[in-house]
């Protein structure tokens, strides 16, 4: 029975009641109470399973609280709070309700103790979040939202079929560690994989996130993928396949991230890259790696939402997030630029920022467990991330060639939200010990060793160097200055050309693939329309003679079959 | 298991409930004609429906634990006399029919007044009552020939009811005519099948038939009887490809009739199929297993997809629902073709859940017809804002049609998928899920039309009157209620399935 108030209920109640509140400011203010109450409930919640309700003869465990669930739920609450502050100025009730339902569902899913509860909240996140895309109100956003919804709901349906099979196989619906092997676990794995943007299943993410509203993409960047990370960490920790999936995820967005012009899209690709790190960590398994996953998930929520908030503020003030249209905004938006730099420093894992402490745990785990290949790939990916997100985003938006735009500084609520995010990023970076106490497993892990600090600074420094060079060679959208090359660098130019050509080739192939897919889909639909549309034989009114003919045929078949026996 | 009551003299009214179930509407039908008052026709119909519902509830409560009531008409003992035999399966169906009637009739008052010429009202309600009693009679009787008689009573009155749509669209006449021909052929096949059975066994009582067939085993006569009955009933239940009469009949009938028939007529036919497949014959017969698994099952799957595709491309809401009904009947047949307890449970529970879902949706259609004149997508575009309550009910009904968790439709599909897994038929389970996705598309089209398209500029639609909204919402809320509280429906369906398969009740 229900003995504790489940935290998601606070959000759902908020979503139901807040739209009735008159006055936008009051509504925004009251909405802030929701994550606070929810967070307090999570903080004080005893561990163990609670609130088992029986539905259709199936026991649903609404709350299964352990340290892994708690840390995700807590960071979700914090991020929900920050994004509500960020959205203070939004007068749209639909977005408010969607945000609350979406965060509530994500938190509900984190505490789900069985696969059915997980499925319900899983679909909840899908359905609530699509309104954040639709709220933009454009034709493009409508179609993007539909595509997003179809994929997200499909993920839920696959999860449900996996759950049904799992029940048949094992007689249990408990959501615990699973091993890949049976169709059931594969289906569940794929369902998680869709939400986690596994390679080839990822296309919804860069499609949808940049299409949402300014505040919507901040909210979107927080929950869906991290929920999938949590689900994978809970269900498939130590599945070696995940290491290689994660490596691919960490590496392949690099090219798109480098050539993409829309900064929100750059952030979407780098989000996939960061998920790659988490997925590798899950694949490695073991206490250190899972701690690393939980910790890095927290910091990646923080810096990713921080970066989305900064770019969102730019979009809010200038109406564009294209790198080629921006530049030099630091002159009029200094605070936003500062917060963006904090986010960049965090994603780049500069010492004293959150990622420095968290990312290294995953890397160390890879090293200790002897996955040198994965370790090497991750270090390379980390370097590339510094280039295409850590430096490119703030450079293109706030520094670089002056675009002549002088927008006003972001509104106070956005600044406050970004300030909160920045404070958290720095807080974790400076006092990692206090943060580590919240992690799923107790551990002794020293972050600030000399070797580690120097390695990381080197990595960052060289990545920044690479960016500067790449800019000079003209492989970034904001190429302005002429370049003088030393012969030393020639081979690098060749290499850059090769990479550029490769990227171009890939994007052509990709576009071709999409076109082919669309043409094929159109053909299929057209053929179906010819055979099943209103004018087809299938849908026409038949003369009775033809109907009777069917009767005769069917009778003959049935007589034949019955006599056969 | 049967509690045969031999003593006939000391019967109270309570003991006569099985026959009263039929007699009340059956006598009310000519009464409305004799009184001839247009004003009184509806109250009489409604009152007799309510009485029927109360009786159906009382009967259901008596048999829900697996008991059987055997009622002998006129005191003639079966197998010679006609026996009404109430068990969980048919009490459940009778309850569904009576409940739908009680819900639909208040709705029908306004809808019929709008769609059917006033001078025909007394006759209309008389035909309605005949159809109503006929459907319940089919379900309640334990005599094979009596099934045919009641089937004809309900069918003949159905033709009249469909033709009553001619006041709005003359095509109702051809639709009714086509249905008349097909329905009569179906009934003929059915009675030929019963003739074969009589030839083979010398009895018409179902329980007796079952014993004798089991005793003597299958022979060509019995097998031919089975094939004829299957095709005959197949016509009535719109078994793909014998469904061709249905789209026109449902589209051109008055909305109230479509709502009532879609929720009950095909469901009663499904029940008859269950009765013959499991009580009279049985899964022990190789020919039945073969026919169901190699003819019915593939065709059911074809129905699930082909009709859904047609529904996707329709541009008329009402016609789309008709095609979706054919697809949904595919699910029920699939459940039967599994020949397992879970499969039969799924068929029975889907029969109920789909009944309430389609009742809600077809009644909403009636509301749109009343306010917008028609249900083509360009007529009902943008009505989500102008008729918020009706449209919200359409969304709920649509979700239940898809089988979204928390709605009644989910329960039946869940049990059906479970039945497929029990058999180890993965592909079939996948097909069920895949065809549900088609339902997502055709339901979404309606939602899109209602909410996301601008209303026609000449549209003067306002919200439907309360007499329509209340029945629509009763059905819509039932879709949610039975999606959450599943003890009643699933429990009754399980008992019914256990009874049909002769398993010990639970």
A549 and A448 belong to one structural domain: no
Q: Is residue A477 part of a domain?
A: no
Q: Closest CB to B295: pick one of A528, A538, A557.
A: A557
Q: H/E element holding B470?
A: helix B466-484
Question: B64 pLDDT exceeds 60?
Answer: yes
Q: What is the pLDDT of residues B482-497, one digit of tens each?
A: 988 888 888 888 888 8
| A443-452, B137-146, B209-218, B489-498: least confident range | A443-452
A73 and A3 belong to one structural domain: yes
Domain tally, chain A: 3
Residues of B in contact with A171 (CB under 8 A): none
Joined tokens for residue B93: 């169906």
CB A306 within 8 A of CB A339: yes
The whole-number pLDDT of residue B105 equals: 94
Q: How far is CA A15 from CA A11, B243, B297, in A?
A: 6, 46, 45
Could you give the CA distance from residue A194 to residue A152 in angstroms, rounded to a whole number? 8
CA Rg value for chain A? 26
The closest alpha carbon to B423, from B302, B306, B289, B307, belongs to: B289
What is the mean pLDDT of the segment spanning B431-456?
89
A40 and A127 belong to one structural domain: yes
pLDDT confidence band for A478 (50 / 70 / 90): very low
A197 and A307 belong to one structural domain: no
A168 and A26 belong to one structural domain: yes
Residues of A in contact with B440 (CB under 8 A): 153
Q: Closest CB to B178: pick one of A165, A544, A562.
A: A544
Joined tokens for residue A25: 């400011």
A285 and A139 belong to one structural domain: no
Could you give the CA distance from residue B304 to residue B433 in angstroms, rounded to a whole number? 11
Q: Where are the alpha helices (DSSP H) in B314-387?
A: 317-338, 341-372, 377-380, 383-386
The whole-number pLDDT of residue A106 equals: 93
CB A86 within 8 A of CB A414: yes
CB B498 within 8 A of CB B348: no
The whole-number pLDDT of residue B138 equals: 94
The whole-number pLDDT of residue B485 equals: 83
The whole-number pLDDT of residue A484 equals: 35
Q: How far is CA B399 from CA A99, B138, B306, B409, in A?
A: 23, 31, 20, 8
Chain A residue with minimum CA distance to B188: A551
Joined tokens for residue B32: 């409305």
Q: Closest CB to B244: pick one of A123, A533, A547.
A: A547
Beta-carbon separation of A157 and B437 below 8 A: yes
Could you give the CA distance from residue A563 to residue B225 in angstroms, rounded to a whole number? 11
Q: How far is CA A439 from the centre of its chain?
A: 21
Joined tokens for residue A426: 């720095």
Most confidently modeled range among A2-16, A192-206, B188-202: B188-202
Could you give the CA distance from residue A223 to residue A229 in angstroms, rounded to a whole number? 10
pLDDT confidence band for B246 (50 / 70 / 90): very high
Q: How far is CA A486 from CA A200, A469, A483, A489, in A?
A: 40, 12, 10, 6
Taking the Cβ of residue A551 and every Cβ of chain B, the question of whether any pair is shorter than 8 Å is answered with yes
The whole-number pLDDT of residue A480 equals: 37
CB A414 within 8 A of CB A313: yes
Angle between helices A24-44 and A7-17 (to 10 degrees): 170
A358 and A425 belong to one structural domain: yes
What is the b/e burial string over B345-359, where b = at least 16 CB atoms within 10 angstroms of the residue's CB?
bbbbbbbbbbbbbbb
Taking the Cβ of residue A190 and every Cβ of chain B, the question of whether any pair is shorter than 8 Å is answered with no
From A161's Cα to the closest Cα of chain B, the distance in A is: 8
Beta-carbon separation of B247 and A541 below 8 A: yes
Residues of A in contact with B294 (CB under 8 A): 561
A132 and A273 belong to one structural domain: no
Half-sphere exposure of A337 (CA within 13 A, CB side): 18
Interface test with A, best of B277, B310, B429 (most A CBs within 10 A): B310
Chain A residue with minimum CA distance to B299: A554
Q: What is the pLDDT of residues B157-169, one digit of tens each?
A: 999 999 999 888 8
Could you give the CA distance from residue B489 to residue B209 in angstroms, rounded to a whole number? 29
What is the mean pLDDT of the segment spanning B213-236?
89
Q: What is the pLDDT of residues A220-255, one digit of tens each?
A: 888 888 999 999 998 898 888 888 888 888 888 887
Burial of A261 (0-12, 13-18, 19+ CB in 10 A): middle
This prediction's pTM: 0.67
Q: Is residue A478 part of a domain?
A: no
Could you give the CA distance from residue B13 to residue B33 in angstroms, rounded to a whole number? 27
SS3 A60: strand
Using left for φ > 0, alpha for ψ between -120 and 50, and beta otherwise, residue A57 falls in left
Most confidently modeled range among A202-211, A315-324, A493-502, B144-153: B144-153
Beta-carbon separation of B421 and A168 below 8 A: yes
Specify the higher pLDDT residue, A1 or B289.
B289
The whole-number pLDDT of residue A496 equals: 62
The closest alpha carbon to A475, from A328, A263, A260, belongs to: A260
Q: Closest CB to B241: pick one of A123, A550, A559.
A: A550
Question: A492 pLDDT exceeds 60?
Answer: no
The whole-number pLDDT of residue A1 equals: 52
Q: Is residue A379 part of a domain?
A: yes
Beta-carbon separation of B290 and A564 below 8 A: yes
Q: What is the pLDDT of residues A295-354, one digit of tens each?
A: 889 888 988 888 888 888 888 888 877 777 787 888 888 888 888 888 888 888 888 888
pLDDT confidence band for A260 (50 / 70 / 90): confident
Taking the Cβ of residue A170 and every Cβ of chain B, the question of whether any pair is shorter than 8 Å is answered with no
Interior CA angle at B316 toward B315 and B317, to 5°? 120
Q: What is the pLDDT of residues B356-381, one digit of tens each?
A: 999 999 999 999 999 988 889 988 98
From B254's Cα to the closest Cα of chain A, the distance in A is: 19
Q: Closest CB to B309: pick one of A157, A532, A542.
A: A532
A–B CB contacts, 8 A cutoff, strictly below: 122
Could you give the CA distance from residue A272 to residue B1 in angstroms, rounded to a whole number? 65
B108: β partners: none
| A156-165, A413-422, A505-514, B303-312: least confident range | A505-514
What is the mean pLDDT of the segment spanning A197-210?
82
Beta-carbon separation of B241 and A165 below 8 A: no
The whole-number pLDDT of residue B479 equals: 93
Q: Is residue A307 part of a domain?
A: yes
The whole-number pLDDT of residue B347 equals: 94
A201 and A278 belong to one structural domain: no
A497 and A391 belong to one structural domain: no
From A480's Cα to the closest Cα of chain B, the distance in A is: 45
Q: Is residue A480 part of a domain?
A: no
Q: Closest CB to B313: pick one of A532, A550, A563.
A: A532
Interface test with B, best of A562, A563, A564, A565 (most B CBs within 10 A): A562
Close Cβ partners of A359 (under 8 Å, ≥ 6 residues apart): A277, A292, A296, A299, A349, A382
From A155's Cα to the closest Cα of chain B, the distance in A is: 13
In chain A, how many H helices and how many E strands? 22, 2
Q: What is the pLDDT of residues A551-562, one digit of tens each?
A: 899 999 988 888
Please give the backbone phi and psi of residue B454, each rounded to the nearest 5 degrees, phi first: -70, 145
A260 and A147 belong to one structural domain: no
| Domain boundary, last residue among A423, A448, A472 | A472
Could you give the CA distance from residue B263 to residue B359 in angstroms, rounded to a whole number? 6
Beta-carbon separation of A539 and B242 below 8 A: no
The whole-number pLDDT of residue A490 equals: 44
From B472's Cα to the closest Cα of chain A, the distance in A is: 24
Express as a percent the part of chain B with pLDDT over 70: 97
Q: How far is CA A313 from CA A268, A327, A337, A391, B466, in A?
A: 16, 14, 10, 18, 49
Chain A residue with minimum CA distance to B293: A561
Beta-carbon separation of B247 and A554 below 8 A: no
Q: Closest CB to A164: pick one of B224, B231, B421.
A: B421
Question: B330 pLDDT exceeds 80?
Answer: yes
The single residue listed with the structure tokens 């007796």 is B208
Question: B437 pLDDT exceeds 90?
Answer: no
Chain B residue with minimum CA distance to A139: B452
Range of the domain at A543: 487-564
Residues of B in contact with A157 (CB under 8 A): 433, 437
Q: For strands A48-55 and B69-72, give the pairing.
A: unpaired
Question: B10 pLDDT exceeds 60?
Answer: no
Half-sphere exposure of A279 (CA within 13 A, CB side): 28
| Domain boundary, last residue among A448, A472, A496 | A472
* Average confidence score pLDDT of chain B: 89
Taking the Cβ of residue A532 and every Cβ of chain B, the question of whether any pair is shorter than 8 Å is answered with yes
Joined tokens for residue A1: 């029975």
From A120's Cα to the closest Cα of chain B, the distance in A is: 8
Close Cβ partners of B172 (under 8 Å, ≥ 6 residues apart): B162, B163, B164, B165, B166, B252, B253
Q: Closest CB to A561: pick one of B291, B323, B440.
A: B291
Beta-carbon separation of A538 and B306 below 8 A: yes
Beta-carbon separation of A561 and B181 below 8 A: no
CB A251 within 8 A of CB A270: no
What is the b/e burial string over A204-225, where b = at least 16 CB atoms within 10 angstroms of the residue's CB?
bbbbbbbbbbbbbbbbbbbbbb
Chain B residue with minimum CA distance to A117: B405
Beta-carbon separation of A532 and B310 below 8 A: yes
| Domain boundary, last residue among A449, A472, A495 | A472
A403 and A533 belong to one structural domain: no
Residues of A in contact with B192 (CB under 8 A): none
The whole-number pLDDT of residue B6 equals: 47
């Amino acid at each position: 029975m229900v003995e504790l108030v489940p935290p998601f209920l606070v959000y759902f109640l908020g979503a139901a009641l807040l739209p009735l509140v008159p006055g936008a400011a009051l509504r925004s203010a009251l909405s802030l109470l929701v994550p606070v109450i929810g967070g307090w409930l999570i903080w004080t919640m005893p561990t163990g399973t609670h609130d088992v309700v029986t539905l259709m003869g199936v026991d649903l465990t609404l709350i299964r609280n352990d340290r892994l669930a708690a840390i995700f739920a807590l960071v979700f609450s914090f991020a929900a709070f920050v994004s509500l502050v960020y959205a203070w100025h939004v007068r749209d009730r639909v977005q408010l309700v969607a945000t609350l339902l979406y965060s509530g569902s994500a938190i509900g899913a984190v505490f789900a103790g069985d696969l059915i509860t997980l499925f319900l909240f899983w679909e909840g996140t899908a359905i609530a979040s699509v309104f954040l895309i639709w709220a933009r109100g454009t034709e493009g956003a409508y179609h993007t939202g539909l595509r997003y919804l179809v994929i997200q709901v499909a993920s839920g349906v696959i999860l449900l079929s996996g759950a049904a099979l799992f029940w048949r196989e094992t007689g249990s619906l408990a959501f615990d560690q699973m091993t890949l092997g049976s169709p059931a676990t594969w289906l569940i794995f794929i369902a998680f994989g869709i939400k986690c943007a596994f390679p080839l299943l990822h296309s919804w993410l860069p499609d949808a996130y940049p299409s949402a509203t300014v505040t919507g993409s901040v909210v979107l960047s927080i929950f869906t993928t991290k929920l999938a990370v949590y689900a994978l960490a809970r269900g498939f920790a130590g599945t070696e396949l995940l290491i290689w999936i994660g490596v691919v995820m960490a590496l392949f967005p690099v090219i798109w991230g480098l050539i993409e012009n829309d900064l929100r899209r750059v952030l979407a690709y780098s989000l996939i890259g960061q998920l790659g790190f988490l997925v590798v960590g899950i694949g490695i398994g073991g206490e250190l790696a899972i701690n690393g996953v939980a910790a890095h998930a927290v910091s990646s929520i923080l810096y990713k939402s921080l970066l989305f908030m900064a770019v969102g503020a730019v979009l809010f003030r200038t109406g564009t997030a294209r790198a080629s249209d921006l530049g030099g905004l630091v002159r009029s938006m200094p605070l936003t630029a500062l917060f963006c730099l904090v986010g960049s420093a965090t994603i780049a894992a500069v010492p004293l920022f959150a990622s420095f402490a968290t990312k290294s745990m995953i890397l160390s785990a890879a090293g200790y467990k002897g996955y040198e290949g994965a370790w090497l790939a991750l270090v390379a990916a980390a370097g590339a991330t510094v280039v295409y997100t850590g430096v490119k985003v703030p450079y293109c938006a706030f520094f670089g060639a002056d675009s002549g735009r002088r927008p006003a500084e972001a509104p106070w609520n956005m600044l406050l939200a970004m300030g909160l995010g920045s404070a958290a990023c720095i807080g974790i970076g400076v006092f990692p010990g206090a943060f580590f106490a919240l992690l799923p497993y107790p551990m002794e892990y020293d972050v600030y060793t000399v070797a580690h600090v120097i390695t990381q600074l080197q990595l960052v420094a060289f990545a920044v160097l690479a960016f500067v060079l790449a800019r000079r060679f003209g492989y970034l959208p904001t190429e302005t200055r002429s370049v003088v090359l030393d012969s030393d660098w020639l081979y690098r130019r060749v290499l850059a050309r090769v990479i550029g050509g490769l990227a171009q080739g890939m994007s052509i192939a990709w576009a071709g693939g999409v076109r082919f897919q669309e043409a094929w889909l159109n053909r299929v639909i057209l053929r179906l329309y010819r055979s099943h549309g209103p004018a087809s034989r299938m849908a026409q009114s038949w003369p009775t003679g033809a109907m009777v003919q069917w009767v005769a045929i069917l009778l003959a078949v049935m007589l034949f079959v019955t006599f056969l026996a | 298991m049967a509690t045969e009551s031999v003593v006939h003299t000391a019967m109270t009214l309570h003991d006569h409930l099985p026959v009263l179930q039929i007699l009340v509407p059956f006598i009310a039908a000519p009464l409305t004609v004799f009184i001839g008052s247009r004003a009184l026709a509806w109250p009489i119909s409604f009152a007799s429906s309510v009485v029927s519902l109360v009786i159906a509830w009382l009967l259901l409560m008596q048999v829900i634990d697996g008991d059987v009531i055997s009622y002998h008409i006129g005191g003639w003992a079966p197998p010679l006399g006609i026996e009404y035999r109430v068990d969980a399966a048919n009490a459940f169906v009778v309850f569904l029919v009576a409940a739908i009637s009680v819900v639909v009739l208040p709705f029908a008052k306004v809808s019929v007044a709008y769609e059917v010429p006033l001078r025909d009202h007394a006759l209309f309600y008389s035909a309605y009552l005949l159809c109503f009693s006929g459907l319940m009679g089919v379900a309640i009787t334990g005599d094979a020939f009596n099934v045919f008689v009641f089937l004809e009573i309900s069918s003949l009155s159905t033709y009249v009811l469909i033709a009553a749509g001619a006041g709005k669209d003359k095509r109702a006449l051809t639709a009714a005519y086509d249905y008349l021909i097909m329905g009569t052929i179906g009934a003929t096949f059915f009675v030929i099948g019963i003739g074969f059975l009589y030839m083979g066994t010398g009895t018409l009582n179902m329980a007796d038939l079952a014993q004798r067939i089991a005793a003597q085993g299958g022979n060509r006569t019995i097998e031919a009887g089975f094939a004829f009955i299957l095709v005959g009933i197949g016509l009535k239940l719109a078994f793909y490809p014998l469904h061709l009469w249905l789209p026109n009949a449902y589209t051109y009938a008055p909305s109230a009739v479509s709502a009532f028939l879609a929720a009950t007529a095909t469901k009663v036919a499904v029940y008859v199929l269950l009765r013959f497949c499991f009580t009279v014959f049985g899964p022990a017969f190789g020919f039945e297993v073969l026919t169901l698994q190699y003819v019915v099952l593939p065709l059911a799957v074809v129905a699930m997809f082909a009709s859904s595709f047609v529904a996707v491309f329709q541009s008329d809401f009402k016609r789309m629902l008709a095609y979706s009904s054919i697809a949904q009947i595919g699910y029920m047949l699939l459940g039967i073709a599994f020949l397992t307890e879970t499969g039969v449970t799924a068929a029975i529970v889907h029969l109920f859940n789909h009944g309430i879902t389609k009742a809600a949706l077809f009644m909403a259609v009636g509301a749109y017809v009343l306010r917008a004149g028609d249900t083509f997508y360009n007529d009902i575009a943008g009505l989500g804002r102008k008729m918020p309550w009706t449209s919200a009910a359409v969304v709920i009904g649509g979700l239940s049609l898809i089988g979204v968790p928390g709605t009644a439709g989910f329960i039946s599909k869940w049990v059906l998928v479970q039945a497929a897994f029990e058999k180890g038929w993965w592909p079939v389970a996948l097909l069920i899920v895949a065809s549900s996705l088609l339902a997502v598309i055709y339901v979404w089209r309606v939602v899109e039309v209602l909410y996301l398209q601008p209303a026609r500029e000449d549209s003067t639609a306002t919200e439907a009157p309360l007499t329509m909204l209340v029945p629509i919402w009763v059905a819509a809320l039932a879709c949610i209620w039975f999606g959450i509280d599943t003890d009643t429906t699933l429990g009754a369906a399980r008992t019914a399935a256990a009874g049909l398969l002769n398993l010990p009740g639970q």
